[in-house]
Structure 1
Amino acid sequence: MSADAIDSWKTSLPCTRAEAEAIDAADDLAIDAVLMTTEEVEDDRERWRLDAYSEHRPDDAMIAQLRALVPSAAGIDPVIEPLTAQDWVAMSQEGLEPIVEGRFVVHTAAHDVPPSAGGRAFRIDAGRAFGTGHHATTSGCLAMLDRLEGQRFTRIIDIGTGTGLLAFAAAHLWPDADITATDIDPAAIDVTRENAALNGVVGLELIVADGALSDAITARAPFDLLIANILAGPLVSMAPEVVAIAAPDATIVLAGLLETQREAVVAAFGACGCALAEVDRRGDWTILRLTAGATRYVPTTPPDPKGRDGWALDI
């Protein structure tokens, strides 16, 4: 193939944040393309973009599918770009500058930077529809974990691990802890395993699980640090089962919720005996730290699976 041969195609349409969130949360959109959403103007609800990467030039059917995902773009022609023989995943990363949260640096292959003295860098490449750590909720979780470094945790779980980034950060902060990373999507666990090898992270227990009460998870409970960077709906419906695997007085870090959804999430966990300890607001997004009750919580009703679809957000 010559250097300027067409290798793949990129199709772009504007969208709103609500449309982007719906796309990110969907399990299977049955579109023969890799979809990525990007915030074009920080904290602007209307200025987002949908990019679809495909091996073949998009036909009318694919364009119609993409339009159905972003009705706000009605009447706007999609931008269709041929990509030459460059890796389209690498191209998508070129604009992602490294982020620094506390002692952590998160970067892609295109921006390899060393951490500061005593810090830790993680390479998380965009691909397979998972994030890179640049989402405000994930970076906020990194900052929250960094502030907890002085506390002692021995059994940690990252629910909805996505790329594995938060589990990796926990492994760096508490190297002697027993750490479990779970996700509803087997592909996410595959990605986490690959990223762990790439970053030299060892000793994680990786589990594919729908919810928090699978036998593989409960056998490792109770946990004294629980991390769930998912979505507000699943956080509310899963609150009883998440708290059920928490040790007395455990620390629970929750993210993936908008500030407008904070009250509902806090109320759901409050009903299970948890108390709000810290709030970190980043634009429209909010990261919460709660403390479990002094006695082990036992759910009185079976878990409600409603709203779990697409609960892995990290990205």
Structure 2
Amino acid sequence: MSADSWRVTLPCTRAEAEAIDAADDLAIDAVLMTTEEVEDDVERWRLDAYMEDEPSDAMLAALRALVPSAAGTPAEVTALSPQDWVAMSQEGLEPIREGRFVVHTSAHPTAAPEGGRALLIDAGRAFGTGHHATTSGCLAMLDGLAGRSFRNVIDVGTGTGVLAFAAAHLWPDAAITATDIDPAAVDVTRENAAANQVDGVELIVADGALNDAITARAPYDLVIANILAGPLVSMAPELAAIADANARILLAGLLETQREAVVAAFAACGVTLDTLDRRGDWTILRLTAGADRFVPQSPPDPKGRDGWALDI
């Protein structure tokens, strides 16, 4: 029987796994899943890559580049019998519960908590199943803001749309915008919105917050950006510029070692830190914009983002 799909398995470290989980676009045509093999052992993790075609030498090289610690270890390549390879990739993803929300995959359906919302988010082409500490931490931060009123919310770097959907549940009368630089992520968000019967979320393919459609809808009184530390530092002026006076700003995708650089970049734009949530090596920030709307001294320049890949 011919293989319907393929799996490549390589060992990795926790640091490598977290870097893979946090990356917005790895340009690899496969579903990537990382798993802790030995509890609390930072060296004993595993990368599984699921794909529809037999992996080429180029694919194997690209996967190896993600896990340098596996140098010298043969990749385990497995031909899978005909079945749903995306479902296989998420078999180990148990539901995640954060306040009013439970996020689950098709393989693990679950009911919503009383007064809350269950969100179906399958692993696939976009980051953000709710299982990474940055996404679950943002859900907890949003849940903590439930007693406040917001009228205009934007989720920059939406991935699967899970944070935008959570905002739509908490503030059903608010205008919700979800953006991503990756058109595939916006397509995934659209599919997930339909699967979760979420209506009214405006979807925009955009690089950062300089898109005309985004600025036309500003100012936002809640800004969410779960991306990476480098982009957050580079984008601080443009994110602050679309925020309303006294707006709340949630930032994630940064390691604790990168927190000071991110906080300083936003402080330079009049945005102050309210609170933070440490989850392992990752930190989620909640900040407040200044009493007056921030106006950059010069227009933000997207060309200044060349340092996004730097480990700050």
Decide: shared fold, TM above 0.5: yes
User: Aligned residue for 1:38?
Assistant: 34
Instruction: Output one character per residue of 1:166-213: Cα deviation in whole Å (capped at 9) or x when no partner.
Output: 000000000000111111111111111110010010011111111112
* Paired residue secondary structure (2:200): coil
Out of 249, 259, 263, the position equivalent to 1:262 is 259
8 Å CA contact retained: 2:4, 2:83: yes
Aligned length: 305
The correspondence for 1:141, drawn from 131, 138, 146, is 138
Contact 2:9 2:47 (8 Å CA) reproduced: yes
3-state DSSP of counterpart to 2:4: strand
Displacement after TM superposition at 1:117 (Å): 1.3
Extract unaligned runs of 5+ from structure 2.
Answer: none
Q: 1:57 aligns with which of 54, 59, 82?
A: 54
State the match for 2:166 in structure 1. Answer: 169
Render the CA deviation track for 1:218-273: whole Å, top value 9, x for unaligned.
11000001100000000000000000001000000110011111111111111110
1:156 equivalent among 147, 153, 157:
153
Higher mean displacement: 50-59 or 176-185: 50-59
Q: Distance in 2 between matches of 1:27 and 1:228?
A: 16
| Structure 2: distance between partners of 1:46 and 1:61 | 26
- The equivalent of 2:237 in structure 1 is 240
Per-residue CA deviation, residues 153-178 of structure 1 (Å, 9 max, x unaligned), is 00110000010000000000000001
Distance 2:212 2:237 in 1: 16
Corresponding residue number in structure 2 for 1:113? 110
1:1-315 aligned at under 5 Å gives the runs 6-20=3-17, 23=20, 25=23, 27=25, 29=27, 31=28, 33-40=29-36, 45-305=42-302, 306-307=305-306
Indicate the larger mover: 107-116 or 297-306: 297-306
How far apart are residue 280 of structure 1 and its match? 0.7
CA contact (8 A) 1:137 1:285 kept: yes
Contact 1:234 1:307 in 2 (8 A): no
The RMSD of aligned alpha carbons is 2.0
Q: 1 or 2 for the larger relative contact order (CA 8 Å, sep ≥6)?
A: 1
Q: Structure 2 counterpart of 1:147, which letter? A: G
Identical positions, percent: 73
Please tell me whether the aligned partners of residues 128 and 162 of structure 2 are also in contact (alpha carbons under 8 angstroms).
no
SS in 1 for 2:292: coil
Give the SS at the match of 2:107.
helix
The answer as to whether partners of 2:137 and 2:284 remain within 8 angstroms in 1 is yes
User: Quick one: which amino acid aligns to residue 160 of structure 2?
Assistant: T
1:54–1:106 distance in 2 versus 1, CA, 3 Å: same
Q: What secondary structure, in the 3-state scheme, does the structure 2 residue paired with 1:150 have? A: coil
- Offset, 1:82: 1.7
Rounded to whole Å, the distance in 2 between the matches of 1:125 and 1:190 is 13
Q: Which amino acid aligns with 1:247?
A: D
Q: Deviations over 1:44-69 (max 9, x none)?
A: 54343322223333344432333233
SS at match of 1:288: strand
CA distance in 1, matches of 2:281, 2:26: 27
C-alpha deviation, 1:21, in angstroms = 5.1
> What is the identity, as a one-letter code, of the residue corresponding to 1:208?
V
| Contact in 2 for aligned 1:98/1:111 (Cα 8 Å) | yes
User: Retained in 1: the 8 A contact 2:31–2:123?
Assistant: no
- Taking the aligned partners of 2:264 and 2:287, their CA distance within structure 1 comes to 11
Q: Which amino acid aligns with 1:269?
A: F
Give 1:38 shift: 1.0
**Counterpart of 2:12 in structure 1: which amino acid?**
C
Corresponding residue SS for 1:261: helix
1:313 corresponds to: none
Q: What residue identity is the alignment partner of 2:221?
A: D
Structure-1-length-normalised TM-score: 0.91
Q: Tell me if the contact between 1:43 and 1:283 (Cα under 8 Å) persists in the aligned partners.
A: no
One-letter amino acid matched to 1:159: V
Q: Is the partner of 1:219 in helix, strand or coil?
A: helix
